[in-house]
């Protein structure tokens, strides 16, 4: 994942890159305007995407995972772009596909 364990800069927007061959990566610090780009991942590649105790874990069928610590819908990365061009967000226990007019 690039940047790995990124440090937030005041007012900066970070994009975290993650792919199927990246193993198990962790985003330790993020903000609501940050994005995660799963550059070679499609919905078919995702085994589970669970939120528990303010931790989001996206597990892939290949065995890799992306974990977002301190995950909350208003204060951490909450937009996840997939390889097919779709973007997803999480709120109130539900994943929602964003349309191009929402971006």
Q: Given this model, what pLDDT does residue 2 score?
A: 42
Tens of pLDDT, residues 54-92? 999 999 999 999 999 998 767 899 899 999 999 999 887
CA proximity to 49, closest of 88, 3, 6: 88
Is the pLDDT score of 3 beyond 80? Answer: no
Q: Given this model, what pLDDT does residue 98 score?
A: 84
Is the pLDDT score of 9 beyond 80? Answer: no
Tens of pLDDT, residues 17-42? 999 999 999 999 999 889 999 999 99
Q: According to the 3-state scheme, what is the secondary structure of the chain?
A: CECCCCCCCCCCCCEEEECCCCCEEEECCCCCCCEEEECCCCHHHEEEEEEECCEEEEEECCCCEEEECCCCCCCCCCEEEECCCCEEEEECCEEEEECCCCC
């Amino acid at each position: 994942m690039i940047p790995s364990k990124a440090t937030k800069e005041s007012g900066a927007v970070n994009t975290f890159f993650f792919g199927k061959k990246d193993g198990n990566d962790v985003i330790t610090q993020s903000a609501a305007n940050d994005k995660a780009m799963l550059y070679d991942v499609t919905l078919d590649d995702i085994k589970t995407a669970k939120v528990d105790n303010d931790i989001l874990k996206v597990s892939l069928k290949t065995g890799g995972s992306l974990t977002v610590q301190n995950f909350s819908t208003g204060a951490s990365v909450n937009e996840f772009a997939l390889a097919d061009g779709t973007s997803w967000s999480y709120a109130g226990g539900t994943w929602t596909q964003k349309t191009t007019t929402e971006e």
